[in-house]
């Protein structure tokens, strides 16, 4: 989340699209309800089904799954056409005025493609998406006048080369009529949504967008999120209280694990995993912009390497950069399981997840388990994954995989920190000992690492140095606080500034990452995750009591904006709202009294307010950029987005996205219709897997003639993810005991299905049974003048535990997003029939 | 009409005794009496608010069990009667439902008779006088109501409609009221009333004096005892 | 009438069912085996193991679909038929006006189950033959409340749909909320429980007619309970009184008349 949970109360319009917080993030409704009740905020829910969130909404707009870009693009178009954007914000804080290469062409001209597509490798060359630059003279660090290239700024938003003009042109095609024909949303409903949410473009209003997997689990998932960001930037809703683009994370600490590099392409703190092409540290560090706060990226990488390899990481050996594993491909979920299916992967360590149930085209993925030599599962309960060898229809004698089930402790049975979607980190103390032989994950990993080190202790091979040199100093029995200290960062030697003043004495914890950015000998710092730096440092809890910041429970709320700065600690730098420089006008004063968060105190010459400013505290709004400067010196006092090379919020993304600088609609892999926007049916950069295509178990793709019904999956309040925990809790199993499928009354009537009937749902990948839940909450869609039925079902179930049922993911396709590779769980084709 | 013959049973002092109740009749009566009394007392615990202390907790547990046990006896009593003394059972049953001018006369004169001893005003009565018949009739009808509503409350919880259940409670209670009122009268007459002392003796011993029989159950005496026995041995005259 | 009350604002309820589970957790009520039969509601009914649950009701009016959620449990009526029929005093209005249930005192007669116009209390029958049974129902966590806590369901409710406090305060919150909802175009918004059965201890803010939630439009005190009170009880007392008086008079008269048994002539 750019903002945070409590901040939802500051919103004037809450747009939930591709999420269902009432069901999956119940506590969010404490704050949404507060906004509605106290501020008269409007709640808008856009979703294929009328869900529990929709039940509380002022406006519910149905949308066919997989068409979010059309809906959001329609909103962007509406905002631009009706000039409802916050012009001052757009001009100052976004790249709206920046000129794009004259060679750039968009889908409007290229029938769905952007310029630069190479059919040979199904990828874009982004050269034509780049900013136009111009040379300016500036003084470098030594005071010499030099010529520097800077992005060329257009004089007005109407300049045809400007980002804004391209944006307007691109989305002019996304008319309310198109929304109705593609999304199936009635125009009148869409226009009501547009009018309501666009009203937050007013300087004294803010609107928030909440989303979850309904946005991301598509082949255009990343672009869905981009579309929301564009809309929010236009309306001036980024960086302001009650605004933001807010990803509602699906598990209590998935934000924390992502921060610690859960994803395959990352290092802790989003430093990015080096590729095999980046042979040395210097090459790797060129990826960091030199004209943003990322100019400190090299320092953050260095302190991370020092944390991991300590004395073995020296300036001379590139701080042991070569110890880091380098990626040479896509290690995301689908390729991982394809490799397992093909027998390439030999071992699997499963910690707190249940891939048997959660993976797409699950029948194929499960087959992969059988090719493993070994599998280790760390879990609270026996799961379908750990029991795959004795699943219905599987002969245990034919399975060669050796499976180890390590009983693990529950979250309440261990101490440590949890990070919420709002980046708020809170420390929890263990409240009960784990039962039986169950152990904390950290205990198990400590034992494992010590055993690995022991196994290699006599090796002299260079390739084993990363294991042997790894700093593993958390005590005989691992102390989670020792790990926290390392994540926070501590001084390996006295840390000094340029004037030799000691900033942090040897052994002390780091007060925050600014020390890394300013230290002269930053390589005397070990820091496991720079964005967490400061979270375990001593801090005041608001009442004069000092404790590790993350453990604080101070309840002061200066300004009443819900920032609660003394409660826990939020990354980065205890900042509750990201980009909050933009909560003030370019001149540093709040946009309105009601949305006051941080502002420039001209008297004290400092940024101040109710939140930690996401800015250099002393950088005045009228500061001029020095184009020859390094880092933030290259940015002006109105460049609010300090992590961007140009200091601007990107309406147009010249780099970072594989399928284009602007979100463009493509149909899901399995779609009931031709793309009504262009001839390009499907995201051209997405790899379509075809392993064992045509076989009973294989990467099969269905078509609308055989599978005419659109299906999506969802979660229930009562269950959690693949159900390993919730399906073993009697009360929750009682509350939602088995698999069902939600079907509209209309479809039920056509198919002769009654409520409670047993039905069979088939896709190109398989078939499952479920109980029909016939409801008024689903309606058929008119797509391009043709009636399309849409159904949905939960994906929690399988055969182990107290609540059992067939798995929805037996039906989902093996295809991932063009950037993140997240599987397209949310839109696929099926047929439904009554059993018997 | 009556074909059942009752033997003269001996003497008590100078009184000639005639058999009024068979052993089965007496057994049934007393089982019924005990069961009814126990049901009444345990029932009162939940009927009378000032006895609620006995309805809950351990006392409630006990009284609930006792009430159910007594209910079984209550149902069993007439069965004992029917099985061991079927002819008397049917006779008594028939008697209870046979009402005539003599009953009207009895009821009219009962107050005077039982309060001032106005002898000779009462029409002759059968084995049961009209009061006893009234009691029996009430008991018989109530018995049916008790059993039906009791079984509903016992076994029909949750499976019968609420109103049926609630109505059962009311009917059960009304039947209690009816039977209790007549039970009070019955008890008073046979226990306390000086003219009726023998009535209770007969329920223990089975016999009444000929004088009592003649006075209180003249019709029965003449029809069912005397007519069949007058030519037989008269123990008194033999002395 | 209760002095404190629980307010269920259905316009805020998201049917997360935290209340249903929290109730089970606090009272340690067992989970039952349930089955998916085409509904979000499970268990499908209140039971000795389920004292509070959320019902799901789809209601379409004026082209607008509402998915109505109702937290259902004991209404704590002022005119509480269950209290009136309870023969053991196990069900009583406590000091705050709630209908408390002393399970120790309950003798399992089941009258309350049948008398309740909302069909709330349930009987846990241990043995049909012996009649061993205990009634169960929501007491609004009398143990928590008497110790200064809010009921478990209220404590857990994320959106604040459940509130608890002084009844007059709850009523004014409810009325204000109804006004707000009406101003926002929810024409059918109303309170429920203000005056029903003398006033309920569980007040509601509804956004649709009560029947759309499965609540009786106008809950009625059961006629048969009235009949029992107004007929059976007085009749019993009157009859017994009159009979006793009559018999006493008779006995005195017999004494005066020196009546005795007839003797063999």
CATH number at residue A158: 3.40.228.10
**CA pair distance A403, A410, nearest whole angstrom:** 21
| B–C CB contacts, 8 A cutoff, strictly below | 161
Task: Identify the pLDDT of residue B239.
Answer: 37
Of A219, A184, A193, A203, the closest CA to residue A77 belongs to A193
Task: Identify the pLDDT of residue B238.
Answer: 43
pLDDT band at B1 (very low <50, low <70, confident <90, very high): very low
Cα distance from B53 to chain C (closest Cα, Å)? 7
Cα distance from A735 to chain C (closest Cα, Å)? 5
Task: Identify the pLDDT of residue C124.
Answer: 92
Structure tokens at A267: 């290092």
pLDDT tens digit string along A728-784?
Answer: 999 999 999 999 999 999 999 999 999 999 999 999 999 999 999 999 999 999 999
Asked if chain A contacts chain B via 3 or more Cβ pairs within 8 Å, the reply is no
Q: Is residue A748 part of a domain?
A: yes
Instruction: State the average pLDDT over residues C33-57.
Output: 96
Instruction: State the average pLDDT over residues A334-353.
Output: 95
Task: Identify the pLDDT of residue A528.
Answer: 98
The per-residue pLDDT of chain B, averaged, comes to: 81
pLDDT beyond 70 at B236? no
Cα distance from A820 to chain C (closest Cα, Å)? 31
pLDDT beyond 90 at A229? yes
Angle at A28 between CA A24 and CA A31, to 5 degrees: 165
C-interface mutation test, from A14, A20, A24, A26, most C Cβ less than 10 A away: A26
pLDDT beyond 90 at C8? yes
Nearest to B68 among C87, C130, C228 (CB): C130
- Lowest-pLDDT range, A575-579, B131-135, C33-37, C240-244? B131-135
Which residues are bridge partners to A816 per DSSP?
Answer: A823
Instruction: State the average pLDDT over residues A244-263.
Output: 93
Residue of chain C whose Cα is closest to the Cα of B69: C130
- In terms of pTM, does the model score above 0.95? no
What does A679-726 look like in DSSP terms, one character per residue? Answer: S--B-TT--B--TTTTSSSS-----TTT--EEEEEE--TT--TTSTTG
Instruction: Assess whether A718 and A796 both reside in one domain.
Output: yes
The more confidently predicted of residues B119 and A456 is A456
- Lowest-pLDDT range, A154-163, A801-810, B17-26, C127-136? B17-26
Domain that holds residue A816: 709-834
- As a whole-number percent, the residues of chain A with pLDDT over 70 amount to 100
Residue that finishes a domain, picked among A209, A227, A247:
A247
C265 interface with B at CB cutoff 8 Å: yes
pLDDT beyond 60 at B228? no
Structure tokens at B233: 């041995």
Task: Identify the pLDDT of residue B214.
Answer: 79
pLDDT band at B195 (very low <50, low <70, confident <90, very high): confident
Structure tokens at A430: 């263990």
Q: Which of residues 245-264 of C touch B (CB under 8 A)?
A: 247, 249-251, 253-254, 257, 259-264
Q: Is residue A69 part of a domain?
A: yes
pLDDT band at B3 (very low <50, low <70, confident <90, very high): very low
Contact A717 C16 (CB under 8 A): yes
Assess contact for A631 and A644: CB atoms under 8 A.
Answer: no
Q: Is residue A763 part of a domain?
A: yes
pLDDT beyond 50 at C43? yes
Rounded to 10°, the helix A163-172/A68-81 angle is 120
**Max avg pLDDT among A496-500, B119-123, C129-133:** A496-500
The H-or-E segment that residue A223 falls in is helix A221-234
pLDDT tens digit string along B133-175?
Answer: 888 888 899 999 999 999 999 998 888 999 999 999 999 999 9
pLDDT beyond 60 at C224? yes
Contact C12 A740 (CB under 8 A): no
Instruction: Say what the alpha-carbon torsion angle A220, A223, A224, A226 is, to the nearest 10 degrees.
Output: 170
Instruction: Assess whether A210 and A116 both reside in one domain.
Output: yes
pLDDT beyond 80 at B198? no
What does A63-79 look like in DSSP terms, one character per residue? Answer: --TT-HHHHHHHHHHHH
Instruction: State the average pLDDT over residues C50-77.
Output: 96
Measure CA of the first residue to CA of the last residue in chain A; give whole Å. 48
Report the CATH number at residue A780: 2.40.40.20
pLDDT beyond 90 at A136? yes
C-interface mutation test, from B150, B194, B198, B218, most C Cβ less than 10 A away: B194
C105 interface with B at CB cutoff 8 Å: yes
Contact B177 C228 (CB under 8 A): no
pLDDT tens digit string along A267-284?
Answer: 999 999 999 999 999 999
- Match 């920032």 to its residue by tokens: A563
User: What are the φ and ψ backbone dihedral angles of A738, each rounded to 5 degrees?
Assistant: -165, 175
Instruction: Assess whether A19 and A95 both reside in one domain.
Output: yes
| A491: CB partners within 8 A, 6+ apart | A504, A505, A506, A507, A508, A510, A524, A525
Task: Identify the pLDDT of residue B14.
Answer: 64
C-interface mutation test, from A729, A737, A802, most C Cβ less than 10 A away: A737
Nearest to C158 among A29, A802, A805 (CB): A29
Nearest to B166 among C102, C114, C247 (CB): C114
B100 interface with C at CB cutoff 8 Å: no
Nearest to C123 among B14, B16, B157 (CB): B157
pLDDT tens digit string along A685-703?
Answer: 999 999 999 999 999 999 9
Q: How many CB atoms lie within 10 A of CB A388?
A: 24
pLDDT tens digit string along A524-581?
Answer: 999 999 999 999 999 999 999 999 999 999 999 999 999 999 999 999 999 999 999 9
Instruction: Assess whether A217 and A311 both reside in one domain.
Output: no
pLDDT beyond 60 at B48? yes
The more confidently predicted of residues C226 and A350 is A350
The per-residue pLDDT of chain A, averaged, comes to: 96
pLDDT tens digit string along A401-412?
Answer: 999 999 999 999
Q: Which residues of A343-368 are buried (b: 16+ CB within 10 A; e: fewer)?
A: eebeebebebbbbbbbbbbbbbbbbb
pLDDT tens digit string along A28-56?
Answer: 999 999 999 999 999 999 999 999 999 99
Of A273, A312, A224, the closest CA to residue A826 belongs to A224
Task: Identify the pLDDT of residue C220.
Answer: 94
Chain C residues lying within 8 Å of A768, measured CB to CB: none
Instruction: Assess whether A220 and A293 both reside in one domain.
Output: no
Assess contact for A36 and A66: CB atoms under 8 A.
Answer: no
pLDDT band at A79 (very low <50, low <70, confident <90, very high): very high
- 3-state secondary structure string, A760-814? EEEECCEEEEEEEEEECCCCCEEECCEEECEEEEECCCCCCCCCECCCHHHCCCC
What does A162-200 look like in DSSP terms, one character per residue? Answer: BHHHHHHHHHHT--HHHHHHHH---HHHHHHHHHHHHGG
Q: Is residue A623 part of a domain?
A: no
Instruction: Assess whether A193 and A289 both reside in one domain.
Output: no
Instruction: Assess whether A31 and A85 both reside in one domain.
Output: yes
Task: Identify the pLDDT of residue C260.
Answer: 67
Cis peptide before A572 (omega within 30 of 0): yes
Of A403, A397, A427, the closest CA to residue A415 belongs to A427
Structure tokens at A150: 């800077």
Angle at C37 between CA C33 and CA C42, to 5 degrees: 50
pLDDT beyond 60 at B6? no
pLDDT beyond 90 at A241? yes
Pairing state between β C4-9 and C162-166: antiparallel
pLDDT tens digit string along A280-320?
Answer: 999 999 999 999 999 999 999 999 999 999 999 999 999 99
**CA pair distance A387, A89, nearest whole angstrom:** 55
A-interface mutation test, from C8, C13, C16, C71, most A Cβ less than 10 A away: C16
Instruction: State the average pLDDT over residues A136-144.
Output: 87
Q: Is residue A165 part of a domain?
A: yes
Q: Is residue A525 part of a domain?
A: yes
Task: Identify the pLDDT of residue C202.
Answer: 96
Instruction: Say what the alpha-carbon torsion angle A371, A372, A378, A381 is, to the nearest 10 degrees.
Output: 30
Instruction: Say what the alpha-carbon torsion angle C234, C236, C238, C243 is, to the nearest 10 degrees.
Output: 180
pLDDT band at A205 (very low <50, low <70, confident <90, very high): very high
pLDDT beyond 70 at B237? no
**What CATH number matches the domain at C1-220, 3.30.70.20, 3.30.365.10, 3.40.50.10140, 1.10.540.10?**
3.30.70.20
Chain A residues lying within 8 Å of C205, measured CB to CB: none
pLDDT beyond 70 at A84? yes
The distance from CA B88 to its chain's CA centroid, rounded to whole angstroms, is: 14
Structure tokens at C93: 């209005």
Task: Identify the pLDDT of residue B4.
Answer: 41
Q: How many CB atoms lie within 10 A of CB A590?
A: 20
Instruction: Assess whether A236 and A268 both reside in one domain.
Output: no
pLDDT beyond 70 at B26? yes
Q: Which of residues 122-151 of B touch C (CB under 8 A)?
A: none
Q: How many CB atoms lie within 10 A of CB A784?
A: 14
Structure tokens at A130: 């780049």
Instruction: Assess whether A110 and A23 both reside in one domain.
Output: yes
| C28: CB partners within 8 A, 6+ apart | none
Instruction: Assess whether A111 and A226 both reside in one domain.
Output: yes
Instruction: State the average pLDDT over residues C63-85.
Output: 95
Cα distance from C39 to chain B (closest Cα, Å)? 24
Nearest to C66 among A29, A55, A732 (CB): A55
Task: Identify the pLDDT of residue B125.
Answer: 81
Angle at C178 between CA C176 and CA C180, to 5 degrees: 70
Residues belonging to chain A with any Cβ–Cβ distance to chain C shorter than 8 Å: 22-23, 26-30, 32-34, 37, 40, 50, 52-56, 58, 60, 717-718, 730-740, 755-757, 771-777, 802, 805
Cis peptide before C43 (omega within 30 of 0): yes
Task: Identify the pLDDT of residue B2.
Answer: 36
Residue that finishes a domain, picked among A496, A512, A538:
A538
Instruction: Assess whether A94 and A171 both reside in one domain.
Output: yes
- Match 């049961």 to its residue by tokens: B128
Residue that finishes a domain, picked among A501, A519, A538:
A538
The more confidently predicted of residues B132 and A113 is A113
- Match 């002395």 to its residue by tokens: B239
Q: Is A410 left (phi over 0), alpha (psi -120 to 50) or beta?
A: beta
C-interface mutation test, from A29, A753, A778, A796, most C Cβ less than 10 A away: A29
| Count of domains observed in chain A | 3
**CA pair distance B198, A214, nearest whole angstrom:** 94
Instruction: Assess whether A189 and A305 both reside in one domain.
Output: no
């Amino acid at each position: 989340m750019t903002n945070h949970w409590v901040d939802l109360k500051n919103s004037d319009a809450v747009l939930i699209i591709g999420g269902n917080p009432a069901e999956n993030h119940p506590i969010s409704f404490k704050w949404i309800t507060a906004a509605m009740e106290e501020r008269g905020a409007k709640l808008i829910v856009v979703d294929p089904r009328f869900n529990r969130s929709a039940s509380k909404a002022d406006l519910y707009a149905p949308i066919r799954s997989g068409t979010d870009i059309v809906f959001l693009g329609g909103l962007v178009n509406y905002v631009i056409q009706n000039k409802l954007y916050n012009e001052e914000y757009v001009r100052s804080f976004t790249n709206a005025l920046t000129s794009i290469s004259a060679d750039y062409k968009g889908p409007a001209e290229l029938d769905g493609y952007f310029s630069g597509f190479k059919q040979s490798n199904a990828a874009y060359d982004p050269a034509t998406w780049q900013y136009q630059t111009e040379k300016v003279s500036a003084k470098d660090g030594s005071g010499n006048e030099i010529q520097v290239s800077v992005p060329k700024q257009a004089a007005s938003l109407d300049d045809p080369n400007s980002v804004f003009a391209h944006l307007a042109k691109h989305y002019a095609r996304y008319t309310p009529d198109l929304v109705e024909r593609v999304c199936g949303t009635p125009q009148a409903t869409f226009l009501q949504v547009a009018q309501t949410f666009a009203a937050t473009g007013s300087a004294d209003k803010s609107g928030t967008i909440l989303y979850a997997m309904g946005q991301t689990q598509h082949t255009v998932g990343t672009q869905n999120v981009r579309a929301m960001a564009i809309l929010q930037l236009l309306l001036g809703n980024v960086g302001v209280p009650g605004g933001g683009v807010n990803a509602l994370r699906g598990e209590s600490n998935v934000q924390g694990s992502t921060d610690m590099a859960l994803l395959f392409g990352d290092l802790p703190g989003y430093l990015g995993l080096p590729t095999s092409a980046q042979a040395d540290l210097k090459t790797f560090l060129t990826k960091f912009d030199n004209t943003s706060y990322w100019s400190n990226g090299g320092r953050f990488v260095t302190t991370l390497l020092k944390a991991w390899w300590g004395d073995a990481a020296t300036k001379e050996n590139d701080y042991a950069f070569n110890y880091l594993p380098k990626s040479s491909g896509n290690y995301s979920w689908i390729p991982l399981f394809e490799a397992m299916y093909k027998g390439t992967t030999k071992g699997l360590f499963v910690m707190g997840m249940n891939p048997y149930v959660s993976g797409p085209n699950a029948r194929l993925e499960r087959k992969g388990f059988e090719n493993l030599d070994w599998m280790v599962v760390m879990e609270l309960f026996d799961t379908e994954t750990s029991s795959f060898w004795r699943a219905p229809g599987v002969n245990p004698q034919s399975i060669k995989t050796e499976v180890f089930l390590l009983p693990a402790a529950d979250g309440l049975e261990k101490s440590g920190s949890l990070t919420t979607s709002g980046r708020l980190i809170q420390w929890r103390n263990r409240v009960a000992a784990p039962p039986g032989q169950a152990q904390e994950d950290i205990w198990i990993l400590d034992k494992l690492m010590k055993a690995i080190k022991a196994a290699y202790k006599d090796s002299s091979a260079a390739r084993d140095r990363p294991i042997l040199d790894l700093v593993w100093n958390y005590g005989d029995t691992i102390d989670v606080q020792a790990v926290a200290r390392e994540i926070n960062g501590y001084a390996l030697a006295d840390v000094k500034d340029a004037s030799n003043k000691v900033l942090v004495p040897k052994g002390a914890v780091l007060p925050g990452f600014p020390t890394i950015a300013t230290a002269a000998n930053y390589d005397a710092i070990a820091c496991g995750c720079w964005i967490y730096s400061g979270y375990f440092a001593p801090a005041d809890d608001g009442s004069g009591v000092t404790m590790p910041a993350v453990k604080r429970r101070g309840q002061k709320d200066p300004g009443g904006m819900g920032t609660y700065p003394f409660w826990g600690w939020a990354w980065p730098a205890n900042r509750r709202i990201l980009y909050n420089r933009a909560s003030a006008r370019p001149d540093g004063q709040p946009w309105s009294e009601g949305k006051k968060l941080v502002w420039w105190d001209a008297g004290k010459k400092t940024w101040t307010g109710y939140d930690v400013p996401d800015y250099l505290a002393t950088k005045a709004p009228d500061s001029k950029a020095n184009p020859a400067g390094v880092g933030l010196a290259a940015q002006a006092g109105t460049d609010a987005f300090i992590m961007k090379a140009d200091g601007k919020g990107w309406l147009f993304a010249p780099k970072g996205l594989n399928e284009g600088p602007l979100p463009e609609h493509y149909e899901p892999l399995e779609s009931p219709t031709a793309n009504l926007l262009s001839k390009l049916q499907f995201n051209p950069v997405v790899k379509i897997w075809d392993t064992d295509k045509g076989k009973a178990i294989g990467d099969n793709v269905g078509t609308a003639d055989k599978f005419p019904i659109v299906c999506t999956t969802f979660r229930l309040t009562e269950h959690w993810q693949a159900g390993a925990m919730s399906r073993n809790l009697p009360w929750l199993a009682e509350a939602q005991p088995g698999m069902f499928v939600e079907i509209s009354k209309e479809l039920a009537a056509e198919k002769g299905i009654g409520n409670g009937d047993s039905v069979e749902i088939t896709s190109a990948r398989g078939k499952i049974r479920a109980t029909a839940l016939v409801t008024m909450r689903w309606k058929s869609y008119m797509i391009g003048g043709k009636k399309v039925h849409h159904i949905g079902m939960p994906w929690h179930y399988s055969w182990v535990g107290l609540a059992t049922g067939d798995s929805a993911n037996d039906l989902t396709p093996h295809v991932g997003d063009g950037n993140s590779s997240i599987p397209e769980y949310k839109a696929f084709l099926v047929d439904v029939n009554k059993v018997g | 009409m009556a074909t059942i013959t009752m033997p003269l049973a001996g003497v008590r002092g100078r009184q000639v005794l005639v058999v009024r109740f068979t052993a089965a009749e007496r057994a049934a009566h007393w089982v019924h009496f005990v069961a009814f009394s126990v049901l009444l007392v345990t029932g009162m615990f939940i009927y009378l608010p000032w006895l609620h202390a006995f309805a809950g907790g351990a006392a409630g547990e006990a009284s609930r069990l006792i009430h159910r046990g007594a209910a079984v006896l209550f149902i069993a009593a007439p069965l004992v009667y029917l099985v061991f003394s079927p002819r008397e059972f049917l006779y008594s049953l028939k008697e209870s439902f046979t009402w005539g001018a003599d009953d009207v006369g009895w009821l009219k004169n009962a107050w005077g008779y039982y309060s001032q001893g106005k002898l000779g005003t009462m029409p002759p009565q059968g084995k049961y006088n009209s009061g006893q018949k009234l009691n029996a009739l009430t008991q018989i009808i109530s018995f049916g109501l008790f059993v039906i509503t009791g079984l509903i409350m016992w076994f029909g919880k949750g499976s019968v409609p609420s109103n049926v259940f609630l109505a059962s409670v009311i009917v059960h209670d009304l039947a209690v009221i009816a039977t209790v009122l007549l039970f009070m009268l019955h008890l008073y007459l046979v226990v306390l009333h000086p003219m009726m002392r023998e009535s209770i003796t007969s329920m223990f011993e089975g016999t009444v004096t000929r004088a009592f029989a003649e006075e209180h159950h003249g019709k029965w005496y003449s029809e069912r005892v005397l007519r069949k026995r007058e030519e037989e041995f008269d123990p008194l005259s033999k002395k | 009438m209760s002095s404190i009350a629980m307010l269920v604002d259905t316009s805020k309820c998201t049917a997360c069912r935290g209340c249903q589970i929290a109730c089970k957790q606090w009272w340690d009520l067992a989970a039952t085996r349930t089955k998916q039969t085409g509904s979000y509601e499970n268990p499908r009914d209140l039971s000795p193991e389920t004292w509070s649950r959320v019902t799901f009701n789809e209601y379409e009016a004026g082209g607008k679909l509402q998915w109505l959620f109702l937290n259902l449990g004991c209404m704590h009526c002022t005119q509480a038929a269950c209290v009136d029929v309870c023969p053991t005093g196990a069900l009583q209005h406590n000091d705050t006006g709630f209908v408390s249930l002393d399970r120790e005192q309950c003798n399992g007669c089941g009258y309350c189950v049948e008398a309740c116009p909302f069909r709330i209390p349930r009987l846990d029958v241990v043995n049909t033959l012996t009649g061993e049974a205990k009634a169960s129902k929501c007491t609004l966590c009398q143990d928590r409340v008497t110790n200064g806590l809010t009921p478990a369901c209220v404590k857990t409710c994320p959106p604040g749909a459940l509130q608890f406090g002084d009844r007059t305060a709850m009523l004014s919150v409810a009325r204000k909320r109804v006004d707000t909802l009406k101003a926002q175009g929810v024409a059918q918004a109303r309170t429920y429980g203000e005056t029903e059965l003398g006033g309920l201890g569980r007040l509601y803010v509804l956004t649709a007619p009560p029947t759309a939630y499965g609540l009786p439009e106008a809950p009625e005190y059961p006629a048969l309970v009235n009949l029992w009170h107004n007929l059976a009880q007085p009749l019993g007392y009157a009859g017994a009184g009159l009979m006793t008086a009559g018999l006493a008079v008779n006995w005195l008269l017999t004494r005066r008349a020196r009546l005795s048994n007839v003797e063999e002539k």
